[in-house]
């Protein structure tokens, strides 16, 4: 019975729907694969591998999001590569006061669909063009192309989430505008191909993740901003 469950899980993972941003790319990869087969058979099989990778890259699985108030949920799949104190992007107009920033790096094998870290209203959306440095670098937060959102919870607390383009990323997609109501874990965008998301936690919130930890969008708890439990350093 357990073996049947594992087989079903494997089939489900293969049949995961893909994000609409991926439809055009899958068609392009498939068309190129046909041409490669006409040119030389081994090249065609390389095209098949790349087409399967494209399907995998744009996968858009369902997630089960923790629903307790005060939780800040990961907006991206990837590795927590940095936790530091920093000011939110200046274009948001939130001032120079620093907050704890949790950075999640997405490589080309991670799911790139971005999800809201909290439930709330989108108060500000600000896009800024920039460079395409390796998103794993600290300076990518300031130098790279980015799209920033301020999400205000019902209690008035504001959380900042920033989509940052990476070395090979050439398109940041944000599907929400100012005034949009988001549920925690709700999809709000995607980045192609390899990138990073920064989350600026509420004042006083202590991260519950560590550098090097793998995060899952819509599921991993980054912080609990209303917990009364003591934090141990």
- Among the listed residues 74, 103, 195, 225, the single catalytic one is 195
Concerning whether 141 is annotated as a catalytic residue, the answer is: no
Give yes or no for a contact between 213 and 77, defined as CB atoms under 8 angstroms apart. no
Q: How far is CA 226 from CA 46, 83, 210, 211, 223, in A?
A: 51, 20, 19, 22, 9
Scan for tokens 């500000």, then name that residue. Answer: 124
Closest-CA residue to 62 (of 185, 195, 181): 185
Residue found under tokens 């799911």: 111
Residues paired with 217 in a beta bridge: none
Helix (H) or strand (E) holding 34: helix 21-39
Residues belonging to the active site: 195
């Amino acid at each position: 019975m357990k073996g049947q469950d594992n087989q079903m899980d494997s089939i489900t993972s293969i049949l995961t729907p893909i994000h609409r941003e991926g439809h055009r790319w899958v068609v392009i990869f498939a068309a190129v694969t046909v041409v490669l087969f006409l040119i030389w058979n081994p090249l065609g099989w390389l095209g098949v591998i790349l087409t399967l990778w494209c399907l995998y890259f744009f996968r858009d699985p369902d997630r089960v999001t923790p629903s307790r108030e005060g939780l800040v949920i990961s907006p991206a799949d990837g590795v927590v590569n940095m936790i530091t104190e920093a000011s939110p992007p200046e274009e948001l107009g939130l001032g120079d006061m620093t907050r704890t920033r949790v950075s999640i790096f997405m490589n080309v094998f991670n799911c790139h669909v971005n999800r809201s870290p909290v439930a709330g209203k989108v108060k500000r959306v600000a896009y800024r063009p920039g460079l395409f440095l390796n998103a794993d670098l600290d300076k990518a937060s300031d130098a790279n192309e980015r799209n920033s959102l301020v999400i205000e919870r019902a209690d008035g607390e504001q959380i900042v989430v920033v989509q940052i383009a990476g070395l090979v990323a050439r398109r940041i997609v944000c599907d929400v505008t100012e005034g949009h109501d988001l549920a925690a874990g709700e999809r709000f965008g995607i980045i192609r191909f390899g990138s990073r998301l920064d989350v600026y936690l509420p004042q006083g919130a202590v991260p519950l993740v560590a550098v090097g930890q793998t995060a899952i969008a819509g599921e991993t708890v980054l912080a609990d901003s209303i917990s009364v439990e003591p934090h141990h350093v």
